[in-house]
Structure 1
Amino acid sequence: MELPQNRFLRGIYLLVQRYLRHNVGMQGAALAFYLLFMIFPLLIFVSSLLGLLQLDVDAILAAVQEFLPREIVSFIGVYLTYVGRNPSVKLLLFGLFFSLYFPMRATNTLMRSVRIAYHLGPPRGALPQLVKTLLYTAVLIATIALTLTLMSVGDRLLLYAVDSFGLPRFWAVLWAKLRFPVAAVAGYFALFFLYALSQDGRQPWRNIWPGTMAALGAWLALNWLYSTYVENFADYSLLYGSIGTAIALLIWLYMTAVTLIMGAELNATLISLRKDRAGES
């Protein structure tokens, strides 16, 4: 089939072809599987940490409700509240161990999907790939920790710090205004680092940043659309009973996985379009 002459339409056509040829739907399902198994030990670790540090769970839930579906926030809230009431160091260590293991599996799956998008084939060595996986797992956990810190230190804690510890009100106002942009920037660099680290060599900046921005923007947009759909049209509890929240969680994880993979596919599509234009010139 002849490709469309318009570069935008050609890019859309190539992107759809890549989605089908690289089985992005199947890769997204595999990644969602590992993300699902990652979320429970992570919640155990976070809730145990919140219980030990006596942080404000309500502030975190109020913050994440801005960009996550209501069903997901409700599920996380019940879990954090339940485990956080009985903090335990052993439970904290258990959650920490599996919060490292399953993110490593998810990272391996995601890196493999990125390499498929760039037509790189299997990694050259097991040891370098293990180092990259450990490195990105540490980056992922640090990003999650930073995001949770930004979300947990909400207005109530800021006012308490101003009244009790003499924190200048200017810094409190600045923190309240910048915490969401800083969280977005942290997410951008985490995703950018993932696409860059999955390569065998150094890629030019222009081969990575478009897919990073598109994936981050698409993820936020899809979350908003899915939240609107769940809150106004879909009643998972009515359709599926007590497992309705789990169904909503699985759909959200699958959407997240496909969005992350398609960011790499977009980068590879743009590289292909640039090569075609260079060949025509």
Structure 2
Amino acid sequence: MQKRILIQSSKKLYKEMNEENVRDVAAALAFYFLFSLFPLLIFTVSLLPYLSIEVHEILDLLQRFAPDKIYQTLKDPLMDVFMTSNQGILSLGIIITIWSASNGMNALIRALNIVYGVDEDRSFFKLRLLSILLTFGLVLVIFVTLALPVFGQLLIDLLTTLFFFPTHVLQIFAWIRWLVSPIIMTIVITGIYYFGPNIQLTMRQVLWGSVAASLSWQMITLGFSYYIKHFGNYTATYGSLGGIIILLLWFYMMGFILLFWGKVNALKNRKRYRA
């Protein structure tokens, strides 16, 4: 019985994803993600001098979440932005920068409406404000992820001084500290799934898909990194554009993952949100 339900659900998922052209929508998302990436990085890096965070910490974070080739592609532009960043970026160009950075989130919200099969009736300004707020949330998560390893070590040192924890307990704390990044990624995806589609959902309804999307993101990133390192010679085919092509492919896969698990959430909860 369970096997038959699983097969029927898989067929329905495949059929609806084809009807909604989810692969094409993921390709469009990759385009928007690419053009939103550098405004987002410019805005994020421009804040670093005010928060006592070094650019190498941003690079370390990027290296944990992105394939090595993508890290190498973005490393030099990030360093250039950090070296040339000044107050003008935060004053004169902030509106344009934030608007541009939120385009990727705006496209993702529209794409989630497609996989949920709902129309968008929120106003242009409300939708843009939501995109900007979710983008700010993403930037905040970046800084929290950067700060937690440092402050986590300070907390461990403080606990050691005050309570004299055994060594094995401190080792557990150290491991938990490095689990923060994937947990925070899950929180971000949960926020996107919860606030993005133009329907009323509960956190419980979107949480399962968020966890699955976060795990899929990390596994596919690791697999893609291994493939690029050992088999994919994009530089020979595309020359100096190889890094950009790899970045686009990675964005495509990430967009597809978000839409796939968003669609799974939609099918799982369809009777509830259409009731």
TM-score (norm 1): 0.78
2:72 pairs with 71, 74, 94, which one? 74
CA distance in 1, matches of 2:93, 2:145: 18
- Overall identity of the aligned pairs, in %: 27
Superposition deviation, residue 100 in structure 1: 1.5
Query: What SS does the aligned partner of 2:66 have?
Result: coil
In structure 2, the gaps of 5 or more residues are 162-169
Superposition deviation, residue 249 in structure 1: 0.8
Superposition deviation, residue 42 in structure 1: 2.3
The 8 Å contact of residues 190 and 203 in structure 2, kept in 1 or not, is answered as no
Give the match for residue 10 of structure 1.
8
Superposition deviation, residue 134 in structure 1: 3.6
Superposition deviation, residue 82 in structure 1: 2.6
The 8 Å contact of residues 42 and 98 in structure 1, kept in 2 or not, is answered as no
Give the match for residue 34 of structure 2.
36
In structure 1, the gaps of 5 or more residues are 276-281
Superposition deviation, residue 174 in structure 1: 8.2
CA distance in 1, matches of 2:36, 2:243: 17
Superposition deviation, residue 221 in structure 1: 1.0
CA distance in 1, matches of 2:234, 2:160: 44
Aligned residues: 262
- Give the counterpart letter for 2:138 in structure 1: L
* 1:214-233 equivalent positions in 2, closer than 5 A: 214-233=212-231
* 1:110-149 equivalent positions in 2, closer than 5 A: 110-149=108-147
CA distance in 1, matches of 2:3, 2:227: 36
CA deviations over 1:117-167 (Å, ceiling 9, x no partner): 22221225445434433432332232233234447x499xx6xx89xxxx6
1:106 pairs with 104, 107, 116, which one? 104
2:86 pairs with 79, 85, 88, which one? 88
Give the match for residue 279 of structure 1.
none
Give the match for residue 180 of structure 2.
182
CA distance in 2, matches of 1:53, 1:135: 20
* 1:33-72 equivalent positions in 2, closer than 5 A: 33-50=31-48, 55-72=53-70
Give the match for residue 278 of structure 1.
none
Rate the CA distance shift 1:62–1:199 in 2: closer, same or farther, 3 A.
closer
- Give the counterpart letter for 2:231 in structure 1: F
- Give the counterpart letter for 1:210 in structure 2: W
CA distance in 1, matches of 2:73, 2:36: 15
Query: What SS does the aligned partner of 2:102 have?
Result: helix
Give the match for residue 27 of structure 1.
25
CA distance in 2, matches of 1:76, 1:95: 21
CA distance in 1, matches of 2:172, 2:201: 36
Q: CA RMSD in A?
A: 3.2
CA distance in 2, matches of 1:147, 1:226: 23
CA distance in 1, matches of 2:73, 2:14: 34
Superposition deviation, residue 64 in structure 1: 3.5
Query: What SS does the aligned partner of 1:85 have?
Result: helix
CA distance in 2, matches of 1:191, 1:83: 27
Give the match for residue 267 of structure 2.
269
TM-score (norm 2): 0.80
Rate the CA distance shift 1:249–1:48 in 2: closer, same or farther, 3 A.
same
CA distance in 2, matches of 1:117, 1:211: 13
Superposition deviation, residue 74 in structure 1: 0.9
- Give the counterpart letter for 1:40 in structure 2: F
CA distance in 2, matches of 1:38, 1:14: 33
CA deviations over 1:49-73 (Å, ceiling 9, x no partner): 4467664434443443233211111
CA distance in 1, matches of 2:98, 2:139: 8
Superposition deviation, residue 110 in structure 1: 1.1
- Give the counterpart letter for 1:147 in structure 2: T
The 8 Å contact of residues 211 and 267 in structure 1, kept in 2 or not, is answered as yes
